[in-house]
Amino acid sequence: MLYSGSYSLDLSCTDMNANSSKPSNPESSKSSSDSDFSTDAPITSTTTQTAPASSQGQQMWGGRFSEATDSFVAAFTASVGFDQRFARHDIQGSIAHATMLKECNILTADEVATIIDGLQQVLREIEAGEFNWSIALEDVHMNVESRLTDIVGAVGKKLHTGRSRNDQVATDIRLWLREETDNIIELLVRLQSGLLDLAEQHTDTIMPGFTHLQTAQPVSFGHHVMAWFEMLYRDTERLVDARRRINQMPLGSAALAGTTFPIDRTITAELLGFEGICQNSLDAVSDRDFAIEFTSAASILMMHMSRMSEEIILWMSAQFNFVQIPDRFCTGSSIMPQKKNPDVPELVRGKAARVFGQLMTLLSLMKSQPLAYNKDNQEDKEPLFDCVDTLTGSLLAFADMLPNITPNVDAMRAATMKGYATATDLADYLVRQGVAFRDAHEVVGNAVALGIKEGVDLSDLSLAQLQQFSDAIGEDVFDYLTLEGSLAARDHLGGTAPNQVKQAVINGRARLKAFA
DSSP tag of 341: B
- The answer to whether 282 and 238 have CB atoms below 8 angstroms apart is no
Q: Which one, of 293, 274, 85, lies nearest residue 169 by Cα?
A: 85
DSSP tag of 51: P
> Amino acid identity of 83?
D
Determine how many CB atoms are found less than 10 A away from the CB of residue 75. 17
Query: Which residues, at least 6 apart from 471, have a Cβ–Cβ distance to it below 8 Å?
Result: none
Going 400 to 305 to 32 to 289, the CA torsion angle's sign is: positive
Q: Is 441 in the active site?
A: no
Task: Check 4, 333, 364, 462 and give the catalytic one.
Answer: 333
Phi/psi at 381 (5° precision):
-80, -45
> Amino acid identity of 514?
A
Q: Is 89 in the active site?
A: no
Q: Hey, is 307 helix, strand or coil? A: helix
What is the C-alpha separation between 264 and 49, in angstroms, rounded? 38
Task: Check 12, 55, 66, 212 and give the catalytic one.
Answer: 212
Omega before 372 within 30 of 0, i.e. cis: yes
- 242-246's contacts with Cβ under 8 Å and 24+ in sequence apart are 242/181, 242/290, 242/293, 242/294, 242/297, 243/178, 243/181, 243/182, 243/185, 244/275, 244/276, 245/289, 245/290, 245/293, 246/174, 246/177, 246/178, 246/181, 246/290, 246/294
CA 177 from chain center: how many Å? 11
Going 472 to 473 to 479 to 481, the CA torsion angle's sign is: positive
Beta 214-220 vs 248-249: how paired, if at all? unpaired
Please, what is the angle between helix 109-127 and helix 87-103, to 10°? 170
- Residue 276: is it exposed, middle or buried by C-beta count within 10 angstroms (0-12/13-18/19+)? middle
What is the C-alpha separation between 126 and 264, in angstroms, rounded? 30
Q: Hey, is 275 helix, strand or coil? A: coil
Determine how many CB atoms are found less than 10 A away from the CB of residue 344. 21
Max CA separation in the chain (angstroms)? 101
CA 214 from chain center: how many Å? 32
What is the C-alpha separation between 93 and 437, in angstroms, rounded? 67
- Strand spans (E) along 212-340: 214-220, 248-249, 276-277, 323-324
- The answer to whether 250 and 167 have CB atoms below 8 angstroms apart is yes
Catalytic (active-site) positions: 212, 333
